[in-house]
Structure 1
């Protein structure tokens, strides 16, 4: 897919209509003498890139918040976008030369809740459905599988600091190594059908290890077992001392019953604590999984579905079936981690009721024993024995919990080992190496043409938390200190060419911010390459006009010109 048109409109009409073309597309800031470090929030050239990202599933907040401080909003821009009902339309096409080529029309606005517009080809979708539909249109029915749409597009849309300074680890700071592993295996065309299941298992193992580490905060399982042995000996000694006291016939039975109740109270208290801790950990794990997802609104799918039905006809699935399918997919995604929560909540409620009954029973026997008027020494002995029984119940509960966690880690590790036997087999590694070698032929060719340097991609099988994982890296064969911006551009261009050669689904546009930081010769070389390869690569860059090399200071490359007098949204007071 290539970019064809970006339109910004509101209640007053069309504000901007930006037409893209093949090859090099420049978003130009004509404000002379501007500081390159401050132009991102000046006239709106970076916002053009953000709007495209927004249409591809990004959050609306990224248009009107400070990228370095998400709590700081540009109020003027936010109010303008919402109060004047700004609508952004992005059109993608499979071929810029063919007016009849397949197109995708994406429409989004900035309304809060009611009134949200989120359409694809005229059909309204919720946010979840929007992402699934867009992913399927671009990446061949990839749907909700990992890697996500945002991860797949991270190298195509570079305006955030992390993507401007990292060639490969360019998604966000929370993306885990196993997610990058899945991303680059997919990008290289190394299909691994159990990737989703593997990430679930790794998450489950991570949760269990955290649980185990919290249980062993004060001491390890072996230390608990050693302490329990000492404690049992102390209890036996105290019981022997207690047996020497002469009490009424009922007193011994009452003491035994009190000991039993005290022990049960300690067990129930510990079990409630364990269940509550585990529930909280699972909640944290579910929340952790949700950080890479975009929250979804439902109203938009209805309109999108109607439009697809109208335009394409013959749609076999009803809207209700699509919604039902989506909901089942979401449920399945969380059920794996959250499946214990209902039972845990039931267990906690039952144990709390049982604990209440036990506490009442303890008071009953304590009161009864107190009325017997036994010796003060016996009372002290009973108190000490009760405390020891409480500790024993706590230690036994913790030991059982740790053993249970260890068994679950062993079970999950066995499942992971079964999957990894295939993923890290000699055949699979060889297959990955074949794809890396194919990519490197393109990567080195592009880097030599642009920078007279040979860039390469490599991979290793590393160990992380005892588990194998593929780790990908880039390196410069010439060992020079080439700028990171150059390496990033070479990688992105090379990948797009490689993907087309291998028939791997991808988008063909590359969005780049702050290209004035590159040397004139490097920028000129990129322009020449993408113009020659314009059937495969569409290079969109924002840049200060006074930083343009002479060869590129040409209207034929410009798609929009902005300035202090003509900002993107045409509003005042520091719009972007």
Structure 2
């Protein structure tokens, strides 16, 4: 796959801002002609903007890299221009003699298109992975593969082979490199399963630590011992009666409750009697003013028989009647006073009995509860511990089964050393020549298929390369890889995009320029104009020239 053209436009009429045609072989340079003062001011000329836009069209998710940098923060002029003018980037690529249009709207919530078909970002990435790498699987991902061909992260410049940074594991790098080198394309299946199994092992290890055991066998033995101890405890407990120790207190409580019941019954009877007397008093009071003539006549006749002096008139009779009522009321009130006193005494006794019962009840239950707790505490604790052990032990057993299932899903890897040696020899056929021509020293690549070790290593006569030479070796390694792709006709990119090459040693940069001219792939990178004459750059090798008066977005 080669990059043919980059078109950046704005507005609904798609007014072209930049149209860049790339050389399909050799150098395609983006030259910054801004003066020294402009560089010092930090003005954004945009020499890296073109390669960042290519990266975005090839799947990079973050568009803010076009107007944001850690050192300088946001460039609001560029940000507002992109959003207000609705800037769109279109990258034309060629794969197997077929042209593809990759289009991304660079503003917030902008859409993605492949051959004018609108796609969600996830579908855009999936289709790109198929077009560029003929890879229909999610692993290795497009981001993991394309980063080998587009090196823009300055933090990884000196990582040489670790183009995804140090957080990517050796097994992952193994899977990526064996894919990129055409050795194997199925290692990621096993890498994913290995990562899942590693997590399972960590979970099992954590549970063993939690339960103070060093192995699954020790865990099993501990569970069995605890089960046996609980069985013994249950047998011993059959002969223990908690209630028997408290029979005397229980009888005392029952007698006390019986007394309370008797007093409550007596209290109820007295209260009823009191109520009846009160009703009689009220009734007598009402009779005081009621006169029955016939009744009075009979009384009058009776009084004549018993009184020495008979009643002379009706008022005497009425006075006699009311006097009789008052006598009865007096007797009733006397009875009421006596009854009220008795009720008060019963109520006082009842209160004392209830308080005594409550005190005894609380004390009894407290002692009973303590006895139960004393008897059951060890049993309950051990039973709870056993349940926790059993849950954790079952979890471990389930995870072991899951791990075994994962192992069965693994694909048999092709670790054919012969194939590895063929690829290694092909790479070194290019790498040794390039390192000699560019750095003045011959280096050799060593490939390692051991999944726990890093897959690629460069060694020279003086050992591993130093920090100062690593940037030049990146160029040698990436060109060697493209040559391998072309030689074996792998379905992969035929281009390299590097940034910050102007920081490399001048002699090494001269060597890179010289070798890139005969390079069958594309080598795209930005460069400062003050090196153009020194390096002898040809006019046709420059695909874009920028300056203070002609910045990338022309703003």
Does TM, normalized by the shorter one, top 0.5? yes
Q: Where does residue 509 of structure 1 map in the other structure?
A: 495
After superposing the two structures, state which structure 1 stretch, 150-159 or 162-171, moved more: 162-171
Q: Where does residue 54 of structure 1 map in the other structure?
A: 56
* Pair 1:388–1:49, CA change in 2 (3 A): same
Contact 1:2-1:94 at 8 Å conserved across structures: yes
1:338-373, Cα deviation, whole Å (9 max, x unpaired): xxxxxxxxxxxxxxxxxxxxxxxxxxxxxxxx9798
* Pair 1:172–1:82, CA change in 2 (3 A): farther
Q: Where does residue 288 of structure 2 map in the other structure?
A: none
- For 1:75 and 1:217, locate their aligned partners in 2 and report how far apart those are by CA, in whole Å: 54
Q: Could you say what secondary structure the match of 1:402 adopts? A: helix
Q: Where does residue 567 of structure 1 map in the other structure?
A: 551
Q: Where does residue 542 of structure 1 map in the other structure?
A: 526
The Cα of 1:492 is off from its aligned counterpart by 1.0
- For 1:25 and 1:375, locate their aligned partners in 2 and report how far apart those are by CA, in whole Å: 89
Tell whether 2:172 aligns with 1:179: yes
* Pair 1:75–1:4, CA change in 2 (3 A): same
Tell whether 2:432 aligns with 1:432: no
The Cα of 1:47 is off from its aligned counterpart by 1.9
Q: Where does residue 285 of structure 1 map in the other structure?
A: none
The Cα of 1:48 is off from its aligned counterpart by 1.5
Q: Could you say what secondary structure the match of 2:377 adopts? A: helix
Tell whether 2:102 aligns with 1:102: no
- For 1:37 and 1:217, locate their aligned partners in 2 and report how far apart those are by CA, in whole Å: 58
Contact 1:36-1:514 at 8 Å conserved across structures: no
Gaps of 5+ in 1: 96-100, 250-369, 572-576
> Larger Rg: 1 or 2?
2
After TM superposition, the structure 1 = structure 2 runs for residues 39-50 of structure 1, keeping only pairs within 5 Å, are: 42-50=44-52
- For 1:569 and 1:528, locate their aligned partners in 2 and report how far apart those are by CA, in whole Å: 31
The Cα of 1:154 is off from its aligned counterpart by 1.6
- For 2:425 and 2:40, locate their aligned partners in 1 and report how far apart those are by CA, in whole Å: 38
Tell whether 2:505 aligns with 1:519: yes
Tell whether 2:238 aligns with 1:243: yes
- For 1:213 and 1:510, locate their aligned partners in 2 and report how far apart those are by CA, in whole Å: 45
How large is the RMSD of aligned CA atoms in angstroms? Answer: 3.3
* Pair 1:9–1:483, CA change in 2 (3 A): same
Tell whether 2:29 aligns with 1:26: yes
TM-score by length of 1: 0.66
Contact 2:156-2:163 at 8 Å conserved across structures: yes
Contact 1:26-1:559 at 8 Å conserved across structures: yes
After TM superposition, the structure 1 = structure 2 runs for residues 418-567 of structure 1, keeping only pairs within 5 Å, are: 419-420=411-412, 422-424=413-415, 428-462=416-450, 464=452, 471-477=455-461, 479=463, 481=466, 483-533=469-519, 536-548=520-532, 550-567=534-551
Tell whether 2:192 aligns with 1:200: yes
* Pair 1:448–1:36, CA change in 2 (3 A): farther
* Pair 1:25–1:237, CA change in 2 (3 A): same
The Cα of 1:94 is off from its aligned counterpart by 5.6
* Pair 1:102–1:537, CA change in 2 (3 A): same
- For 1:210 and 1:491, locate their aligned partners in 2 and report how far apart those are by CA, in whole Å: 37
* Pair 1:406–1:384, CA change in 2 (3 A): same
Q: Where does residue 190 of structure 1 map in the other structure?
A: 183
Q: Where does residue 272 of structure 2 map in the other structure?
A: none
1:362-421, Cα deviation, whole Å (9 max, x unpaired): xxxxxxxx97984632332223322221111111221222233234334434554xx45x
Gaps of 5+ in 2: 245-363
The Cα of 1:168 is off from its aligned counterpart by 1.9
Q: Could you say what secondary structure the match of 1:58 adopts? A: coil
Q: Where does residue 118 of structure 2 map in the other structure?
A: 124
TM-score by length of 2: 0.69
Q: Where does residue 343 of structure 2 map in the other structure?
A: none
Q: Where does residue 393 of structure 2 map in the other structure?
A: 399
- For 2:193 and 2:148, locate their aligned partners in 1 and report how far apart those are by CA, in whole Å: 27
The Cα of 1:206 is off from its aligned counterpart by 2.4
After superposing the two structures, state which structure 1 stretch, 554-563 or 235-244, moved more: 235-244
